[in-house]
A = this chain, B = another copy of it.
Amino acid sequence: MTLAPVLTRLDNDLDRAVERLMELLRISSISTDPAYKGDCDTAADWLVADLASIGFDAAKRPTPGHPMVVAHGGTGAPHLLFYGHYDVQPVDPLALWDKPPFEPAIEDTPKGKVIRGRGTSDDKGQLMTFVEAMRAWVAETGELPCRITIFLEGEEESGSPSLVPFMKENAAELKADFAMICDTGLFDGRVPAITTQLRGLLAEEVIVKAASRDLHSGMYGGLAVNPIHLLTTILADLHDENGRVTLPGFYDDVPELPDEIRAQWQALSFDHSRFLGDIGLSVPYGEPDRTPLEKLWARPTAEVNGITGGYTGEGFKTVLPAEASAKVSFRLVGEQDPEKIHAAFVAHVEDRLPADVSAEFPAGHGAPASRMPTDAPEFETARKALSEEWGMEAAFIGSGGSIPIAGHFQDVLGMDSMLIGFGRDDDQIHSPNEKYDLESFHKGMRSWARIMAALSGKG
């Protein structure tokens, strides 16, 4: 009897919910760049105030990096912990944005209305879906449907250095029956989904150093070693001609996909031509004997995310640089161990360094892959609630992205996670012109109202 008026209230309050989200989006909380530290703090303050206005006991909690936001409210089973992150990706290249990234606006597109701006889909728009569902529930009933803890992070886009220490220090406070993580997407932009397996991530940086200073390539070229050449060789050697990663032992802990999962995924009829076509590509890259979904969700990768060395400005400079560097990330699956892969990467680089050349590895960070126990009945309850909202069968899917928090909830708190989100493949997260569909925002709130109702038995 409760759910229907809550849903109606969400429908009627949508414009004001968008206004609240816009306020949060205007705060340029880029966590990876120290220049935006104050903005991250402002975003946390905004969230504390908003959660307090709903009735939560909310506080900004300091860490050595950006603060956490933790809020408690409600009583009764189950105890649900909701997770999201208020920090956003950098915005460069700024020139490719059609509008300023921190001046969000509703836009009409051929596919419907969207909210355009940095953080709309990753993750401010998503975290506000559960906040709005809770606001409506309290407004309608005077209380939350069950015991709820909210846990919002400000370092998700910069490796979450404070996360695990904070979770360990506050384990008793944060442990709940399930974590509800809202940072994933619909399948194929239309099918509601609970993500139940996630790739892990190991982020590496390597700096190759040779001469003590930049040299003139005419005076020294041919006799002095060029660190860019070594770096290109090191990186080119990371893959064989079939796109497989060459690090020794890299595939040792990579499981083959169970037939059951393979069948489920096949049933999703993934249209890889459209998926690639949306980004100007046509041909699936990488291991030729794997299906596209398997490559995205269940196979490990090594990707160079950035490379730089020598003169890269306008014009030409015949320099033979003293150093060159690259940022490399590995997506991990199954039981792949980030520390073992780190050691293999370091060995791969060091084996390729001739005399006079050294390599440095500024501290990387890693998290293994994770997989959820979909046989727990709560997973099926949540799946049904999702199916009702979207009018089609919700799916258990994999994800190529890494959400290390799910692994940490398992390892540190012994708590499983339901990864439910409403992003779409064309949201351009981490890219210019990021957007979040208004439909995702609206039906996302409604989905959470339904899921909370179903799990707390207050439907």
Q: Does A49 contact B (CB under 8 A)?
A: no
Using A228-B235, A232-B233 as known contacts, list a sample of 9 further A-B pairs with CB atoms less than 8 Å apart, ordered by residue number in A: A92-B313, A199-B218, A215-B279, A219-B429, A223-B285, A223-B295, A225-B285, A282-B355, A318-B402
**Whole-angstrom distance between the alpha carbons of A85 and B305 in the complex?**
40
How many copies make up the complex?
2
Within 8 A of B (CB), among A307-330: 307-321, 324-327, 329
A interface bracket (residues with beta carbon within 8 Å of B):
35 or more
Q: A213-B428, A213-B432 are in contact. Are A203 and B316 (CB under 8 A)?
A: yes
The answer, yes or no, to whether A410 is at the interface (CB within 8 Å) is: no
What string of 1s and 0s marks CB contacts (under 8 Å) between A213-237 and chain B?
1111111111111101101110111
B223-A292 in contact (CB<8A): yes
4 A-B pairs closest in CB distance: A218-B401, A212-B280, A32-B315, A306-B310
Q: A210 contacts which of B90, B220, B281 (Cβ < 8 Å)?
A: B281
Give the nearest-CB partner of A198 in chain B. B218
Bound Cα distance from A280 to B225, whole angstroms: 11
B233, B307, B310, B329: the one within 8 Å of A312 (CB)? B307
Query: Can you name 26 A-B residue pairings with CB atoms under 8 Å?
Result: A32-B313, A90-B313, A158-B315, A201-B318, A211-B281, A212-B280, A214-B432, A220-B400, A221-B301, A222-B296, A223-B284, A223-B292, A224-B281, A224-B285, A225-B281, A232-B232, A232-B236, A232-B307, A282-B355, A304-B310, A306-B310, A306-B312, A306-B321, A307-B307, A307-B324, A308-B308
Q: Is the CB of A308 within 8 A of B307?
A: yes
A287 cross-chain contacts in B, Cβ below 8 A = 222
Q: Which chain B residues lie closer than 8 Å to A320 at the CB level?
A: 303, 305
Minimal Cβ-Cβ distance residue in B for A235: B232
Instruction: Name the one of B229, B325, B355, B399 contacting A236, with C-beta atoms under 8 angstroms.
Output: B229
Specify which chain B residues have a CB less than 8 angstroms from the CB of A219 in the assembled complex.
296, 400-401, 425, 429
CB distance from A296 to the nearest CB of B (A): 5
Q: Does A289 sit within 8 A of B, measured CB to CB?
A: no
